[in-house]
C-alpha cells in the first residue's frame, strides 16, 4: 500500500508517531539512552526551528506534538531526529540494519480540545499500559517533568562524533563514543506552550498539567511501588509477544463535526494534488501544486512533447 500524501499546514500541530522495527525494545529507557535521545531531540528542534509541545519515548516507539514553519522544515526535522536515533542508539545497543519499521505517521490536531486529549495521551504513557503507577515514574524521556515546571527549558548533551573522529584521525587520540571524554555540546530544549494555553502564565500551565497528571494517576490500576527495573532491564533486541497495530487516524478532533471537516479539507487537497501530479508526470512542468505539498521527483516526468 502506498504511503499517504503529506500535507503539512504550518498553522497546524501534528501528532507524530514512529515505531521501531518489529516493535523491538531498541529504545529501552536507560540513563545513556535518555541522554542520547535528549540531545538528538533538542538539536533537531533548534536546527530546524520547529515548535515542540510534548513528547514521550518508550521502549519501541515515540510520540511528538510538533508544528513546523513549512513542509520542508518538518521533513528535515524528522529526518535528523530518526536518522540520529538510528545511528546512535543503534550503536549503543548493538543493532545493525533498519531501525524504524516504516515511515512515521503525522496526523493534524484540529482543535483545542484535541490538543489536551493528545497531551493526556502522551502523559499517560506507562500508566495506561500498567507498567508504572504514576506518570512521573516513567523512566524514559518524557515532557512530563518539564511541563510540571511550567515549561522550564531542559539541558541535554549532544555527543559530537564528528569532533571525536577528528581527534582520532588528526591527533591519534582514542575516545569511546559513550565515555565522558567524548566531545559534547550542550543543547537547550524549550517546549512551546499549547495554543489553548497561550494566554496562561507558566504557573497556571503548571497547575493545569498537575491536574491532568493527578487525574491520570488517580485512575491508574497498576503496581503500587515505584520500581521500574522491569522496564530499564529489558533486552533491547527483544520484542513483545503481541503488538496492536491500529489504522492510522486521519485526524485528531474533539468532536465528530470537526473531524469530518478536517477529513474533507484533506480530501480536497488530495484531489488538487492528484490533478496537478497527473499534469506534472505528463511533462507539464508549469503546473501549480497545492500549498504545503511535495512535488513528485522530476526523474519520473515524461519528456514534454514540443
DSSP secondary structure letters along 34-91: HHHHHHHHHHHHHHHT-EEEEEEE-SSEEEEEEE-SSHHHHHHHHHHHHHHHHHHHHH
pLDDT band for 301, please (50, 70, 90 cuts). low
φ and ψ at residue 60, rounded to 5 degrees: -130, 10
Helix (H, G, I), strand (E, B) or coil at 11: coil
Q: How confident is the model at residue 302 (pLDDT cuts 50, 70, 90)?
A: low
Q: Return the higher-pLDDT residue of 150 and 77.
A: 77
Q: What is the pLDDT of residues 125-136, one digit of tens each?
A: 999 988 998 998
pLDDT bracket for residue 223 (50, 70, 90): low
pTM of the model: 0.92
Residue 166 φ/ψ, nearest 5 degrees: -65, -35
> Would you state the pLDDT for residue 282?
85
Cell output for 82: 530518526
Q: Is the pLDDT of residue 178 over 50?
A: yes
Which stretches does DSSP call E strand in 161-294? 184-189
Mean pLDDT of all residues in 196-219: 93
pLDDT of residue 305: 46
Amino acid at each position: 500500500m502506498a504511503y499517504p500524501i503529506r500535507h503539512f499546514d504550518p498553522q497546524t500541530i501534528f501528532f507524530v508517531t514512529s515505531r521501531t522495527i518489529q516493535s523491538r525494545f531498541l529504545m529501552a529507557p536507560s540513563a545513556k539512552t535518555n541522554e542520547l535521545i535528549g540531545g538528538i531531540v533538542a538539536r533537531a528542534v533548534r536546527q530546524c526551528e520547529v515548535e515542540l509541545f510534548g513528547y514521550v519515548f518508550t521502549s519501541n516507539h515515540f510520540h511528538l506534538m510538533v508544528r513546523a514553519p513549512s513542509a520542508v522544515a518538518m521533513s528535515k526535522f524528522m529526518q535528523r531526529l530518526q536518522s540520529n536515533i538510528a545511528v546512535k542508539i543503534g550503536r549503543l545497543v548493538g543493532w545493525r540494519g533498519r531501525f524504524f519499521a516504516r515511515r512515521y505517521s503525522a496526523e493534524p490536531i484540529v482543535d483545542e480540545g484535541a490538543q489536551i486529549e493528545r497531551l493526556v495521551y502522551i502523559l499517560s504513557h506507562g500508566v495506561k499500559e500498567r507498567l508504572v503507577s504514576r506518570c512521573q515514574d516513567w523512566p524514559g524521556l518524557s515532557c512530563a517533568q518539564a511541563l510540571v515546571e511550567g515549561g522550564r527549558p531542559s539541558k541535554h548533551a549532544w555527543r559530537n562524533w564528528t569532533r571525536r573522529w577528528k581527534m582520532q584521525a588528526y591527533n591519534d587520540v582514542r575516545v569511546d563514543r559513550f565515555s565522558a571524554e567524548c566531545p559534547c555540546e550542550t543543547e537547550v530544549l524549550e517546549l512551546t506552550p499549547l495554543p489553548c494555553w497561550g494566554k496562561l502564565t507558566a504557573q497556571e500551565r503548571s497547575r493545569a498539567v498537575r491536574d491532568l497528571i493527578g487525574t491520570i494517576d488517580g485512575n491508574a490500576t497498576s503496581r503500587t511501588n515505584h520500581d521500574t527495573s522491569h522496564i530499564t532491564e529489558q533486552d533491547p533486541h527483544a520484542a513483545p509477544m503481541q503488538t496492536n497495530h491500529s489504522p492510522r487516524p486521519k485526524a485528531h478532533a474533539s468532536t465528530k463535526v470537526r473531524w469530518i471537516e478536517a477529513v474533507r479539507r484533506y480530501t480536497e487537497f488530495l484531489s488538487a494534488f492528484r490533478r496537478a501530479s497527473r499534469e506534472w508526470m505528463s511533462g507539464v512542468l508549469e503546473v501549480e501544486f497545492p500549498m504545503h505539498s511535495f512535488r513528485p521527483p522530476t526523474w519520473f516526468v515524461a519528456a514534454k512533447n514540443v
